[in-house]
Structure 1
């Protein structure tokens, strides 16, 4: 009887892992494709000394469209998909597994909030670590032309020849330091809000999930944005020619040349637009697909 129970538990967990991988992959791809032009715009301002404004962002988008056409706004999105599909799949799956390890009941609003936060943070660290070279490649493609990097494979080839294996993890430290509050806050906020609404009002639907995800996205983005600035500058330093070789060096260069607000919060207002959209779509899509797969 015990052997049968263990086999059933293993089988159920395997199905849950496959379910989470598929749901997370679709959720991540849909969310990132939706906001890809805004993401590309944000990265360009993050790595330059040009002051950010809504007018400047619109000018960048319109000039890109006029110069290269509509689909150029999605340049680098192939690299994004190559990265985000495994990243989102791993992140959601890791969250479910860490939630089990830490005994987190996501339906209970009174459950230990610390464990919810830690589960999300560990999920973010797990997925980011396993897919980081793809994130670096995506960032470099987003801020270059086809003359510099013709394809994702070209980015990997040139990075290896010019910087070695170490080059694939440039900016890794600020990325991990940033993903801890970002993923922890996002998963914690989304789970807590969704459970609260279900507990108080007794319902859950796609609109509620989308709204909770949007709030979670804004909270997560705000908690880690300065580190996002630093990691982007470090990831693309080989392109811009700046001496962004370490977290400390990058921090001081940005602080001295651009100041606190303009330097470390440049483009945050755009993130308050694209972040909630992407996170809302991601969480609600994941829940929708996951629920349907469980019923099959």
Structure 2
């Protein structure tokens, strides 16, 4: 993000304002509908942020689902064990499914957020144009994105839950962990799950996901935009400012909704867990999942992996928001309504 690039961006924007020939250099971008630009910006931001924290995301899932051999380990020890048995590739197992999911998820999330936000401002002007609108639009967009991409999240979790693809490679007697052969990829997961449970199987755990994403997505956008309102005008475009606001928004939002994420992960991998590890209990709903985990595994399990989530949420949400804002500038996305009115 050096100054030459910044100068180019400013020059291009100035060209659009004064009608100079610079506009012809970006005519293809300018011809795109705004919602398409928002899809592109959101998808790129999501993929970039998700890839940065992939090793921490894999470790978090192993801790959440109490994978054999990892239930008593901390973050650092889990990373070392993964590196020892699976190498660098092990850090990114399931990341292909994660990136494939996050691109449409983030694209829909950010685009629908902007669309919901504009719709609320146009139809419910009595609510004003402050962070409350971001809370409502963020919650609605989070739910929309989840419903559109949940099967891919299910596939990502099942792939990440598998500590090894070939059990003989793992020393320590884990050969009895899986009652069936390991999944070979995203298509195999989706096909197998659909054959076993149909559409309902592909959306196993979507209840706690929606219960968690609605407040989390809303709080994330609310806190991010609220913090930005307290930043002096001269620092509004600072990357450091955006990273800081995004990191704090992610930390606070995740803390309140994390137990719901734990329930979701355990519901997603129930069919993979042997009775000797987790029992035959199947959660019928979110509340039952919360109470059962607290009773049988202890309330601390509801926050298993939270420390690593704090570690990963800082770069993930911060980079996601920052990349999205920068992509909006590059793609010439018009200012928001409240910015124009201001």
TM-score (norm 1): 0.87
The structure 2 residue matched to 1:258, chosen from 297, 302, 325, is 297
The structure 1 residue matched to 2:133, chosen from 100, 103, 115, is 115
- Given the superposition, is the C-alpha separation of residues 176 and 14 from structure 1 closer, same or farther in structure 2, using an over 3 Å criterion? farther
1:44 paired to 2:62: yes
1:273 paired to 2:311: yes
Instruction: Tell me which protein shows more helix as a share of its residues.
Output: 1
- Contact 1:237-1:244 within 8 A present in 2 as well: yes
- Contact 1:137-1:156 within 8 A present in 2 as well: yes
- Contact 1:76-1:142 within 8 A present in 2 as well: yes
Deviations 1:177-221 (A, max 9, x none): 00011100000111111232045x553211111111101110111
Distance 1:169 1:295 in 2: 34
Distance 1:34 1:244 in 2: 33
Distance 2:81 2:319 in 1: 28
- The offset of 1:271, in angstroms, is 1.1
Name structure 2 gaps, 5 residues minimum.
1-29, 123-127, 167-181, 275-279, 335-342
**Counterpart of 2:171?**
none
Distance 2:242 2:303 in 1: 28
**Counterpart of 2:165?**
146
- The offset of 1:13, in angstroms, is 11
Distance 1:233 1:295 in 2: 40
Work out which of the two has the higher radius of gyration on C-alpha atoms and give 1 or 2: 2
Count of residue pairs the alignment pairs up: 278
Distance 1:168 1:198 in 2: 47
- The offset of 1:258, in angstroms, is 2.1
- Contact 1:194-1:204 within 8 A present in 2 as well: no
- Contact 1:149-1:155 within 8 A present in 2 as well: yes
**Counterpart of 2:51?**
33
> What SS does the aligned partner of 2:332 have?
helix
**Counterpart of 2:331?**
293
- Contact 1:52-1:267 within 8 A present in 2 as well: no
**Counterpart of 1:188?**
222
TM-score (norm 2): 0.76
- Given the superposition, is the C-alpha separation of residues 295 and 96 from structure 1 closer, same or farther in structure 2, using an over 3 Å criterion? closer
**Counterpart of 1:160?**
194
**Counterpart of 1:88?**
106
- Contact 1:52-1:266 within 8 A present in 2 as well: no
Distance 1:35 1:275 in 2: 8
- Given the superposition, is the C-alpha separation of residues 101 and 71 from structure 1 closer, same or farther in structure 2, using an over 3 Å criterion? same
- Contact 1:24-1:92 within 8 A present in 2 as well: yes
> What SS does the aligned partner of 2:230 have?
helix
For the aligned residue pairs, the C-alpha RMSD in angstroms reads 2.3
The structure 1 residue matched to 2:261, chosen from 228, 235, 239, is 228
Deviations 1:125-178 (A, max 9, x none): 010110011111101000113250111111111111222221101111110000
Distance 1:202 1:288 in 2: 15
Distance 2:190 2:131 in 1: 40
- Given the superposition, is the C-alpha separation of residues 295 and 94 from structure 1 closer, same or farther in structure 2, using an over 3 Å criterion? closer
**Counterpart of 1:9?**
none
Distance 1:129 1:13 in 2: 30
- Contact 2:67-2:161 within 8 A present in 1 as well: no
Q: Which runs of 4 or more aligned residues in structure 1 lie more than 3 Å from their structure 2 counterparts after TM superposition?
A: 49-53, 110-113
**Counterpart of 1:6?**
none
